[in-house]
């Protein structure tokens, strides 16, 4: 495969290995992606991000997202902000368009922060998706202290549970149970959400195909939409994750924006032996 360089980035501790395949294809198997993401024997990350030439003339890049188990994800808000910051640094512009399998995402720089429009929140049962024609405001399932979630799709599926104390929920125990519940044919991300005030939310997350992570941008968006739908918050709030805060707003047109910081941790080169062993 030759020399493959990477950049390690994160948004509030939600971390990514970013590979640039815009100049030449970089085919990776699920096993190779998982090997890179492994925190003990690889570089380590929540998601592996591969930058590819855009499929749409309006986009600056196509962003492919691979989970730690090698599976492909449709959306990742924190990764979108990281990638957008790279593009804006390259072009000198304050705006970038990132294409994913879920669609086109607009991003803008605001000082040290990056805002991304995650697109519209989709709320119909067919869009989540769930297996039954039910009201997504009350999905009715439960796992331990997690009861009756709200279903939201932010380019990927989310089950948002309201809890009294988000920090007390054993997501490593109950997250996998909900992720693979029969109600979710494509599995789901799982959020435990504690409403602190009408404009402040505490959230912890189990990411589909990854596990417990310090932050999840699409999950933060889903949390705000869910609490607003239940009448527990307004349509703009600070969502406090394990890694820090994101500002989320559900706009009148149905789109959801997310604002927060991005950071580069380090750069490096992948060892051929790592990819050969996968």
CATH superfamily entry for domain 122-253: Diaminopimelate Epimerase; Chain A, domain 1 (3.10.310.10)
| pLDDT class of 3 with cuts at 50, 70, 90 | confident
- Catalytic entry in 45, 76, 82, 221: 76
Model pTM above 0.85? yes
Q: According to CATH, where is 3.10.310.10 located in the chain? A: 4-117+262-277, 122-253
Residues 38-56: what's their mean pLDDT?
A: 96
What's the rounded Cα separation, in Å, for the pair 87 and 94? 9
Q: Is 76 a catalytic residue?
A: yes
Which ranges of the chain does DSSP label H, i.e. alpha helix?
30-37, 77-91, 171-179, 217-229, 272-277
Domain 4-117+262-277 classification at class level: alpha beta
The CA-based angle 125-127-128, given to 5 degrees, is 70
CB neighbourhood size of 168 (10 A)? 11
pLDDT in tens, 130-169: 999 999 999 999 999 999 999 999 999 999 999 999 999 9
Q: Is 216 a catalytic residue?
A: yes
Catalytically annotated residue among 45, 82, 216, 221: 216
* Confidence grade of residue 276 (pLDDT, cut at 50, 70, 90): confident
């Amino acid at each position: 495969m030759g020399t493959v360089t990477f950049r390690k980035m994160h948004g509030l501790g939600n971390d990514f290995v970013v590979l640039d395949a815009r100049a030449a294809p970089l085919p990776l198997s699920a096993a190779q992606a998982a090997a890179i993401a492994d925190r003990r024997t690889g570089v380590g990350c929540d998601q592996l991000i591969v930058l590819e030439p855009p499929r749409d003339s309006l986009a600056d890049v196509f962003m492919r997202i691979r989970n730690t188990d090698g599976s492909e994800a449709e959306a990742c808000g924190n990764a979108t902000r990281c990638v957008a910051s790279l593009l804006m640094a390259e072009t000198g512009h304050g705006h970038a368009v990132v294409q994913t399998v879920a669609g086109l995402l607009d991003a803008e720089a605001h000082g040290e922060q990056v805002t991304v429009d995650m697109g519209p929140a989709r709320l119909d049962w067919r869009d989540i998706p769930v297996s039954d024609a039910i009201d997504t405001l009350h999905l009715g399932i439960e796992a331990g202290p997690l009861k009756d979630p709200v279903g939201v799709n932010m380019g990927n599926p989310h089950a948002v549970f309201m809890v009294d104390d988000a920090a007390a929920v054993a997501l490593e125990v109950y997250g996998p149970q909900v992720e693979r519940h029969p109600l979710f044919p494509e599995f789901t991300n799982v959020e435990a959400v504690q409403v602190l005030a009408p404009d402040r939310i505490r959230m912890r997350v189990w990411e589909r195909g990854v596990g417990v992570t310090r932050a999840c941008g699409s999950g933060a968006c889903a949390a705000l939409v869910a609490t607003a739908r239940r009448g527990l918050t307004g349509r703009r709030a600070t969502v406090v994750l394990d890694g820090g805060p994101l500002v989320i707003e559900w706009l009148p047109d149905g789109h959801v924006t997310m604002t927060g910081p991005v950071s580069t941790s380090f750069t490096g080169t992948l060892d051929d032996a790592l990819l050969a062993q996968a």
